Amino acid sequence: MAYSTRTNLVSNAGVVASDVTGVGSGRMALAACSFGEDKGIFGFGTTGSYVSTTNLVSNAGVLSSDVTGVGTGRRALAATQYDGDKAIFGYGDTGSNVSITNLVSNAGVVTTDVTGVGTARAYLAACSFN
């Protein structure tokens, strides 16, 4: 199965732009969120096998090429921004549900696995609150 790398920019008024051919590896069941106050990150997912690959998104909406992942490859995880400029990826499925988190610095650097707190789970959602 081929996974799409198609992306769409969204304006500050919520208008979705036309399809843009993406860069990097297509994958599914990944997570994404904002970080660094004006950037984004896509990470993890599956390409037929579980991966920990990430892609940064600039404040102009430009998606970077694949960054070799840090941590355990998994799918069906969640991600969210926290503390105004950082992010976290958490939980997911590696063949069984896991309780693992990876912090993301305000520069987009992903940390190694941290054993999560709470029940291992997948297909969850996350959001920030400020």
Is residue 54 within 8 A of residue 42, CB to CB? The reply is yes
Tell me the whole-structure pTM to 2 decimals. Answer: 0.90
Predicted confidence at residue 123, as pLDDT, reads 97
Widest distance between CA atoms in the chain: 40
* Residue 24: burial class (beta carbons within 10 Å; 0-12, 13-18, 19+): middle
The kind and range of the H/E element at 58 are none
- Is the pLDDT reported for residue 2 higher than 80? no
What does the block give as tokens for 65? 């090429």
Predicted confidence at residue 101, as pLDDT, reads 97
Radius of gyration of the chain (CA): 14
Predicted confidence at residue 45, as pLDDT, reads 96
Cβ contacts of 10 within 8 Å, gap of 6 or more: 16, 17
pLDDT digits (tens, 9 = 90+) for 93-116: 999 999 999 999 999 999 999 997
- Confidence tier at 6 by pLDDT (50, 70, 90): confident
pLDDT digits (tens, 9 = 90+) for 8-67: 888 888 899 877 777 888 899 999 999 998 999 999 999 999 999 999 999 888 888 899
Residues in the chain, total: 130
